[in-house]
Amino acid sequence: MVETGSPSTGVASLPRRIVGVVARKRTYANLLYLLLAFPLGFLYGWLLSFGFLVGLFTTIIGIGFVILALTVGGTRVIARFERWLANTLLGTNISPPADRPAADGIWATVRSYVDAPSTWRGFGFVFLKFMVGVVGFLLALALVNAVQFILAPLRYPTTVEFGEVNGEPVVWEVATQTEALALLPVGLVLLLFVFHLVNGVAYATARMADGLLGDVSSASDDADPSPVAVQPDDRNTEAEGAADRFEGDEDRSPPVDTDTEDPDAADDFVWGPR
As a three-state string, the secondary structure of 125-136 is HHHHHHHHHHHH
Mean pLDDT of 46-56: 90
Percent of the chain scored above 70 by pLDDT? 73
Question: Using N-to-C axis directions, what is the helix angle for 177-213 and 25-57, rounded to 10°?
Answer: 60
174 pLDDT more than 80? no
Q: Could you tell me the pLDDT band of residue 245, with boundaries at 50, 70 and 90?
A: low
pLDDT tens-digit series, residues 29-39: 999 999 999 99
- What pLDDT is recorded for position 36? 95
User: What pLDDT is stored for residue 271 in this prediction?
Assistant: 43
Going by C-alpha positions, the residue among 223, 236, 153, 226 that lies closest to residue 188 is: 153
HSE of 211 in the Cβ direction (CA atoms, 13 Å)? 9
* pLDDT value of position 210: 92
**Sign of the alpha-carbon torsion through 66, 72, 75, 76:** negative
What's the chain's average pLDDT? 77
SS (H, E, C) 140-197: HHHHHHHHHHHHHHHHCCEEEEEEEECCEEEEEEECCHHHHHHHHHHHHHHHHHHHHH
Q: How far is CA 144 from the centre of its chain?
A: 28
Region 116-123: mean pLDDT is 88
- Summarize the confidence of residues 50-71 as an average pLDDT: 89
Tally of CB atoms within 10 A around 238: 11
User: pLDDT category, 199, cuts 50, 70, 90?
Assistant: very high
Q: Return d(Cα 126, Cα 201) in angstroms, integer.
A: 16
| 205 vs 184, higher pLDDT | 205
Average pLDDT over residues 252-270: 47
The tally of CA atoms less than 13 A away on the side-chain side of residue 224 is 3
Least confidently predicted of 4-8, 141-145, 246-250, 261-265: 261-265
Cβ within 8 Å of residue 66, ≥6 positions away: none
Share of the chain above pLDDT 90, in %: 31
Residue type, 86: A
pLDDT in tens, 3-18: 444 555 555 577 788 8
How far does Cα 147 stand from its chain's mean position?
Answer: 31
Per-residue pLDDT averaged across 120-145, rounded? 92
Q: Which residue has the higher pLDDT, 179 or 163?
A: 179
